[in-house]
Structure 1
Amino acid sequence: MLKDILKEKFSEVIRAIFPVVAIVLILSVTIVPMPTHVVMVFLYSCILLMIGMVFFTIGSEQAMEPMGNHVGTRITKTRKLWLILPLGFLLGFMITISEPDLQVLANQVQSIPNRVLILSVSGGVALFLLAAMIRMVLGISLQRMLLFFYVIAFILACYAPPDFLAVAFDSGGVTTGPMTVPFIMAFGVGVSALRGSRHSSQDSFGLIALCSIGPIIAVLLLSLIFKPEDATFEPVVIPRVLHSLQLGGLFLAELPDQMHEIAQAVLPIAIFFGIFQLVLLHLQRKPLLRILHGIICTYIGLVLFLTGANVGFIPAGFDLGSILATLPYNWIIIPIGMLIGYFIIKAEPAVYVLMKQVEDITAGAVSGKLLLRSLSIGVAISVGLAMVRVLTGIHLFYMLIPGYLIALILTFIVPPVFTAIAFDSGGVASGPMTATFLLPFAIGACMTQGGNVVTDAFGVVTMVAMTPLVTIQLLGVMYMVKARRTPKTSVSQSTLENFGDYDIIEL
């Protein structure tokens, strides 16, 4: 049984990572002369990434999803808002502080101290998780909440200093990563399961969407009271290695830091769940041991994944972007960026969690493979647009405002389930691979071009988070057309409309 699971997971991971590896290797022997030691470190990093993803996906299924579901279901059974809302806020704050993507972004934002940025973003997620829970309790339309809060975000953005603008929108993307997504989505399923409606499970979508807005507004508010420091961005380099022992030493030197950081991330959640188990939950020994095993797998997976990402992926992405930007035909960085973006989404751990949740909750009405293909197209477009910004210095607003305007207009057209999935997908797409490869890729190209890193390179994460909002909802338009033309289709119009029904909970 375990052998079959490992074989299946390794097969999925190899299919996810291989295209990115192949692209980098082909470029390194054709038009991008990368140093040999950088390529070697990159390849070793890929091995760690693959092993880490296998452990993480197993751990997510065994621990993070069941923990979120159990906690959500149990606190909702109390029918006490005074308990549900504070616990939701606490969970949102803790799970965000533990998010590895946020740590990666904070380390690359030189103008804002790490602690200030992390606490601001965590507070934003916690408040908006609270808002998402209130939405489920009162049956408020997700469309109205998205429209209201994005209007507020863009109004605040008009008054924010330029150094904060891209970082604020990027923060909204990185907070919904491999720790946050499985826990919060399962938490939402647990809360919504007790609404008493046969369609209440679809209401669990949208939590990630709302939690992605919180950090944007929180950092924009921070910009009104906090003066950023002068930032000096240094090139990311890998020390030259002469033999295999030095190569191994690079990873061993990074390992203790990642073990410490991930322990700080996972331990608070494990302790919280342990206290919750003793006081309210009282699970039997077998499911409890399964969750414990899952927590250990999650920890090992994230340590290996982020060690590989930090040692090999960040420098490789930086070098690749830097060298491409020096070419006489540097415009080639746009199609290459799009190609990398198309495939890199398949290496995001949280994407597979979302795919599984979507297939389960929509009873297969929305295919996981079709969702992944739509995400890939969206991310490819977004990375291409981000590279245009790097080369031309176009203001981020000229891309964000039309993109979000189209996405919000589509919310009035497509069935609500597609809106919820689309906005959830935007947060999930901008995970650790974006923060550890695409962002350094953009920074390297921008520094070589002599551009402003804070205003021109940052923003790639939010671009990745934005385009799926449009592509997934366009998928919803296609389903509507298909349902109208083929009455006997497996996804009928009435089914899609039912996904949007909302009932009031009485607590």
Structure 2
Amino acid sequence: MKPEKQGKTRYRVSAAEAFKLVFRHARKRILEQIRAIALIIIYMVLFQVLVLNIPLVDSGLIAFGFVLVVFGLAFFMEGLLLGLMPLGEVIGIRMPLKASMATILIIGFILGIGATFAEPSIGALRMAGQSIKAWNSPLLFLLLNKFAAYLVYAIGIGVGLAVVFGMLRFLYGWSLKPFIFFSVPFLLFISFFAYIKPNLNQLLGLAWDCGAVTTGPVTVPLILALGLGISHVSRRGGKDTGGGFGVVTLASLFPIFAVLMIGFALSGKVQAPMSEKQFFSVENRENTLFLFESEDAMKGYALGYSSRASYLPLFDNDEAQLDEFKSRLISDNALREKVFRSQNEFEHWLINQDDHELKLKYFGSEEQLFDAIYKGGGAGADVMEILKDFRRHSANAAQAIVPLSLFLILVMFLVLRERLPRADEIFLGLFFAFLGMVLFSGGIELGLGKIGDQVGANLPASYTKIEMPSERMVIREFDPDIVNVAIGDDGKAKPFFYYEHKEKLYRVPFEEKCFNAELRQYEYIPSRGPLFGVGERTKAGLFVVLLFAFIMGYGATLAEPALNALGMAVEDITVGTFKKSLLIQSVAVGVGFGIAIGLAKIIWGLPLFWMLLVPYMLLMIFTKLSSEEFVNIGWDSAGVTTGPITVPLVLALGLGIGTQVGAAEGFGILSMASVCPIISVLSVGLVVNHKRKAALKALEADESRKAEEVAA
């Protein structure tokens, strides 16, 4: 490495040296992401495999998804550091000097919307819509599917408003407490009205969870970079802006209001929850069609998720018309793409049909059909399907990153009239952010979403009996004469037979309904559970589930890099009175309890409104008693725990267990995981503050005593 002598001091680096530097830096970034993801992933995999004794389905695909998550986050975070954050900080510093207040607020508002679209966890919300039953939660289904873009816009508007008020706080040094005392009771007030309305009731979990989704790796750093720039300028004028704390709190509260408002706006146009049969009835056809992109999409959803008796009215109760439509699905690839979201979804549907001839028409032979059944009917994914998904992720990433980047660059040129600092680095960073978002979105779909959904769906096996579709058995050329009979404790006959598969012997119960005499085929779906205790909803099993949730939340929080950074900042601000380790432990315990309580809400069907009301009312008291610095720290601590790994996993976990236990929706875990750490941090803060005051009083008393002794 040799310095050049002309102009500024520059260094000529050989290709080998450059490669070493880049390799070391890349390895460091990748290892950071591995450390962030490894603990929680290993824990969930081991819990399913060792504790629940249930093998992972599509383990290779899930492992590939984890690799994508690691590299995606590494690229994405590097892109933020090189591209988006420098732009945000420069704009934050320069804007108060060159732009009017109105311009600053408008730019901040637009920036908040753009940052929301660029949040990786927003993709997890879109995927969550696939688990919602349309007849159980019509409004929720509409917002997460057909109107998913409107939902994101609403969340973005909420974040935009949060940025506006956050900037005003930075500029004028306003306290965070008045915002909390007004916004939280107001949100609870409108949540109560949503709670008493059947359609809006099921939107509460999504709305309050959105507050956690928005405080991710794009919104928080970008807004903080912008806000800290303004804060830096404000401090020159002698204003105390709280060191940048508080903006995360606003960014988590305002989107809740925005989502509830869009829910209220749409509730009059959407039917109330109803039975599956009534939902697809001829009389309700127009209302049902409103929830879908097209009539074909509605029919596809009905075929995939409802019973034959329910969806037959969509075909005018004409069996011939239904059979003709199914035949078209087999032969018409374009129609399949309209009706089903993916080839895998179509194959999964087809495998579960009773029409054997229809299956053979598509798969071609008995052997291929048999292989497809054991593959899980679309459980895996072929290369073309994955490439198709990545094209979709690329389009979504471009829609998220490009507008936000262009907006920031235009602000630099048109408003600030300045050139881009280190333009080559910034454009490289923007490309990295785009690439990282594509990879990470694919990783969520293939890895985090799948493992979360599987563990969530299998968790109830701890305390109750559940079916295991992934272990479906299809036995051809079945001979009923091999069936044996055992006598149970109740004296009833229990027919069974032995089945050997892959050198393992299984004892399979024989049920007449599972045997197709015409095809000489026996099809059986095994069941598991309860693994702990005997009976329905065993106490031991429920305890295991809640303990799993607590450890998951606690461990994931300890691995969160942002929390470590917050802990160091807090220890510095409080001059060592609030130790970093104490903050981390307080937040981790709070998140652990929050996730456990959120899972309890889904399992027992507890009303989320009352579960939110009690802790937030308690927080009003804690906030009143706490100092401004602890209020800022405590309320912001919830935001740093809901990172890009935790959010998709927890959402998938909740929706998975919600589907298994028959809950209308599986939201609410994130909202509980957000409020509980605030309680733990503020309560610990009150204790720390009390000890600090007691120590100061003791010190003053000691100094006073010494002064009296000297005077005497």
Match of 1:317 in 2: 452
Structure with the bigger percentage of strand: 2
Query: For the structure 1 residues 475 and 39, does the alpha-carbon distance in structure 2 shift closer, same or farther, using more than 3 Å as the test?
Result: farther
- Correspondence list, 1:61-460, <5 A: 61-78=81-98, 80-109=100-129, 110-112=141-143, 113-160=147-194, 161-195=200-234, 196=236, 200-227=240-267, 228=270, 240=375, 251-281=386-416, 287-327=422-462, 328=530, 329=532, 330-331=541-542, 332-345=544-557, 370-453=582-665, 457-460=666-669
Residue deviations 1:102-152, cap 9 Å, x none? 332144242422022112222222123222222333333211111101111
Q: Deviations over 1:183-241 (max 9, x none)?
A: 01111101111112567352521112112111111222223221246688969999849
Is 1:469 matched with 2:678?
yes
2:69 to 49, 69, 77: 49
**TM-score relative to the length of structure 2:** 0.62
What amino acid is aligned across from residue 254 of structure 2 in structure 1? G
CA contact (8 A) 1:99 1:180 kept: yes
Q: In structure 1, how many angstroms separate the alpha carbons of the residues matched to 2:645 and 2:692? A: 36
1:184 maps to a residue whose letter is I
Q: Deviations along 1:254-273, whole A, 9 cap, x unmatched?
A: 32222211111111111012
SS state at 2:265 partner? coil
Aligned to 1:493: none
- Which range moved further: 386-395 or 92-101? 92-101
Amino acid at match of 1:154: L
The equivalent residue for 2:286 is none
Q: What is the aligned residue count?
A: 484
SS in 2 for 1:224: helix
Residue pair 2:204, 2:609 contacting (<8 A) in 1 also: no
Is the CA contact (8 Å cut-off) linking 1:326 and 1:448 kept in structure 2?
Answer: no
Q: Matches of 1:282 and 1:352 in 2, distance apart?
A: 37
Q: Which letter maps to 1:468?
A: P
Identity %: 26
Classify the secondary structure of the residue corresponding to 2:121.
helix
User: Taking structure 1 as the reference length, what is the TM-score of the superposition?
Assistant: 0.85
The amino acid that maps onto 1:126 is G
Does the C-alpha gap of structure 1 residues 294 and 471 become closer, same or farther in structure 2, counting only changes over 3 Å? farther
- Equivalent position amino acid for 2:457 in 1: S
CA apart distance, 1:346 = 5.2
Matched-pair contact (CA < 8 Å) for 2:161–2:254: yes
**Structure 1 residues 102 and 53: alpha-carbon distance in aligned structure 2, compared to 1, 3 A threshold:** closer
Distance 1:226 1:246, change over 3 A: closer
Partners of 1:174 and 1:430 within 8 A in 2 = yes
- Deviation string 1:25-51 (CA, Å, 9 cap, x unpaired) is 322332324444433322222222222
SS at match of 2:58: helix
The question of whether the paired residues in 2 share the 8 Å contact of 1:98 and 1:262 is answered with: yes
- Kindly indicate whether the alpha-carbon contact (under 8 Å) linking 1:63 and 1:291 is maintained by their aligned counterparts in 2: yes
Q: 1:28 to 1:104 in 2, by over 3 A?
A: closer
* Equivalent residue letter for 2:205: A
Equivalence for 2:361: none
Deviation (angstroms), 1:364: 7.7
Give, in angstroms, the shift of residue 447 of structure 1. 1.9
Q: Which runs of 5+ in 1 are unaligned?
A: 489-507
Which residue in 2 is equivalent to 1:495? Answer: none
Cα deviation, 1:449-495, whole Å, max 9, x if unaligned, reads: 22222xxx21112112211211222342343245335559xxxxxxx
Secondary structure (helix, strand or coil) at the match of 2:645 reads helix
Q: Is the 8 A contact 1:178 1:349 kept in 2?
A: no
Quickly say closer, same or farther: Cα 1:197–1:373, change in 2 above 3 A: farther
How many angstroms apart in 2 are the aligned matches of 1:91 and 1:367?
34
C-alpha distance in structure 2 between counterparts of 1:21 and 1:96, whole Å: 26
How has the CA–CA distance of structure 1 residues 184 and 355 changed in structure 2, closer, same or farther, with 3 Å as cutoff?
A: farther
The structure-2 alpha-carbon separation of the partners of 1:378 and 1:252, relative to structure 1 and needing over 3 Å to count, comes to farther
How many Å separate the matches in 1 of 2:125 and 2:661? 22
State the match for 2:367 in structure 1. Answer: none
Aligned partner of 2:203: which letter? F
Q: 1:52 touches 1:301 (CA, 8 Å); kept in 2?
A: yes
How far apart in 2 are the matches of 1:73 and 1:401? 39
Name the structure 1 match of 2:317: none
1:298-330 superposed Cα distances (whole Å, 9 cap, x missing partner): 222222222111112112111111111133244
- Cα offset, 1:354, TM superposition: 5.3
How far residue 249 of structure 1 moved from its aligned partner, in angstroms, is 5.8
**Quick one: distance in 2 between partners of 1:346 and 1:55?**
23
Equivalent position amino acid for 1:413 in 2: L
1:166 CA drift (Å): 1.4
Higher relative contact order (CA 8 A, sep 6+): 1
Match of residue 494 from structure 1: none
> C-alpha distance in 2, partners of 1:483/1:423?
21
Distance 1:82 1:253 in 2: 44
Q: Distance in 1 between matches of 2:425 and 2:687?
A: 41
Equivalent positions of 1:461-500 (< 5 A) are 461-484=670-693, 486=695
CA RMSD after TM alignment: 3.2
Q: 2:639 & 2:252 partners in 1: Cα distance?
A: 6
Which of 27, 41, 44 is the matching residue for 1:24? 44
Q: What is the CA distance between 1:352 and its match in structure 2?
A: 6.5
**CA shift in 2, pair 1:367/1:47, >3 Å:** farther
* Contact persistence 1:201–1:361 (CA under 8 A): no
CA distance 1:370–1:406, change in 2 (3 Å) = same
Structure number, greater radius of gyration: 2
Provide the secondary structure at the position in 1 that maps to 2:204: helix
2:452 maps to a residue whose letter is: G
Deviation at 1:342, TM superposition (A): 1.6
Q: Closer, same or farther in 2 for the Cα pair 1:98/1:11, shift >3 Å?
A: closer
Partner of 2:434, secondary structure, is helix
Q: Distance in 2 between matches of 1:354 and 1:63?
A: 22
User: In 1, are the aligned partners of 2:171 and 2:241 still within 8 Å (CA)?
Assistant: no
- C-alpha contact (below 8 Å) 2:460/2:660 kept by paired residues: yes
- 1:10 aligns to 2:30 (yes or no): yes
Q: 1:225 to 1:77 in 2, by over 3 A?
A: same
For residues 286 and 18 of structure 1, the distance between their equivalents in structure 2, rounded to whole angstroms, comes to 36
State how far apart, in whole Å, the 1-side matches of 2:25 and 2:572 are: 19
What amino acid is the match of 1:132? G
> Which one-letter code corresponds to 1:73 in the other structure?
I
Q: Does structure 2 conserve the Cα–Cα contact (< 8 Å) formed by 1:173 and 1:428?
A: no
